[in-house]
Amino acid sequence: MLLAIDAGNTNTVFAVFSPDGELKGEWRASTTGARTSDEYGVWLLRLLELEHILPSDINAAIIATVVPATLHSLKVLCDRYFHTTPLVVGEANVKLGVEAKIDNPQEVGADRLVNAVAANAKYGGPLICIDFGTATTFDVIDHDGNYAGGAIAPGINLSLEALHMAAAKLPRVAVERPAKVIGTGTVSAMQSGIYWGYVSMIEGMVARIREEFRADMDVVATGGLAQMFCDATSIINWTDRDLTLRGLYLIYQLNKG
């Protein structure tokens, strides 16, 4: 079985795939560079046990991280607890099957490249992939499936926190879809501005990308808050919760020989 690890800025996702690509389990931990391999190991082994997966069942691993401080502990985790040397997305020996057609390919986050691989394999280009994470990213996949660039905006939770921290009288509010655009109180006004403002940003960015790319591109959304926004706009064609994990599985399959 394959252990796939996606270390994002907020959460690190661990998933196990069977050889034929079936997702056998998925678990999340908060991302911190201070967490040791043993802390990961004790936590993960217990979760695997609950799904009747033995450490000896894991014979391969792949890691994508946008937090460099986590990489050492995750590599040691794979070696010490599963006796396997992981592939690491972004290292020179790991093939992606797609090309990053931007000014400096080394600048692209591993998660964005992995999403591009999975999105092209499942939906085909040209395509816009929106990832609702710590940042909200818009990634462009061209007709040949290559990564062609994109845009990065603050994630909705970051925006809410910044609004609360910078304005003394504004409270911390939850992310939810308000019934009306026009708020009749401070909380409802904040929720409307954040939620409907993000919907407008999504629609505006997609329209501008399509115009600049000169193609009627479909849109796939992933990330924890994707479904909340998909329900509010018709501009998003698909929601794919496991897009990044699926991309890791595909990259491993490409490299396992």
Considering only CA atoms, which of 133, 40, 137, 149 is closest in space to residue 86?
40
The DSSP bridge pattern shows strands 87-88 and 60-65 to be parallel
| Per-residue pLDDT tens over the stretch 111-145 | 999 999 999 999 998 999 999 988 899 999 999 99
pLDDT at 169: 63
Catalytic sites, residue numbers: 111
Beta bridge partners of 65: 7
Contact present, 110 and 5 (Cβ < 8 Å): no
> Is the model's pLDDT at 82 over the cut of 90?
yes
> Residues near 229 by Cβ (< 8 Å), separated by ≥ 6?
132, 198, 199, 202, 221, 236
CATH architecture of 105-246: 2-Layer Sandwich (3.30)
Which token pair is 146? 């290559």
134 is in an annotated binding site: yes
Whether residue 226 is annotated as binding a ligand: the answer is: no
- 163 compared with 109, residue with greater pLDDT: 109
Establish whether 64 is an annotated binding residue.
no
Tell me which residue of 157, 136, 142, 148 sits closest to 222, measured CA to CA: 136
Question: 2-88 with 105-246: one CATH topology?
Answer: yes
- How far is residue 28 CA from its own chain's centroid? 12
Q: How does residue 29 score in pLDDT terms, banded at 50, 70 and 90?
A: very high
Distance CA 53, CA 84 (A): 16
Q: What gap in Å lies between CA 14 and CA 25, rounded to an integer?
A: 8
12 is annotated as contributing to ligand binding: yes
Dist. CA 8–CA 90, nearest whole Å: 15
Unique residue bearing structure tokens 């609004």: 163
**What is the per-residue pLDDT across 170-206, written as a single tens digit (0 to 9) for each?**
677 777 888 899 998 888 888 898 889 999 999 999 9
Give the pLDDT score at 164: 66
Averaged pLDDT for residues 43-69: 96
Quote the CATH superfamily of domain 2-88: ATPase, nucleotide binding domain (3.30.420.40)
Query: What 3-state DSSP class applies to 210?
Result: helix
Domain boundaries, the chain: 2-88, 105-246
Give the DSSP H or E segment for 157.
helix 156-166
Q: Is 186 annotated as a binding residue?
A: yes
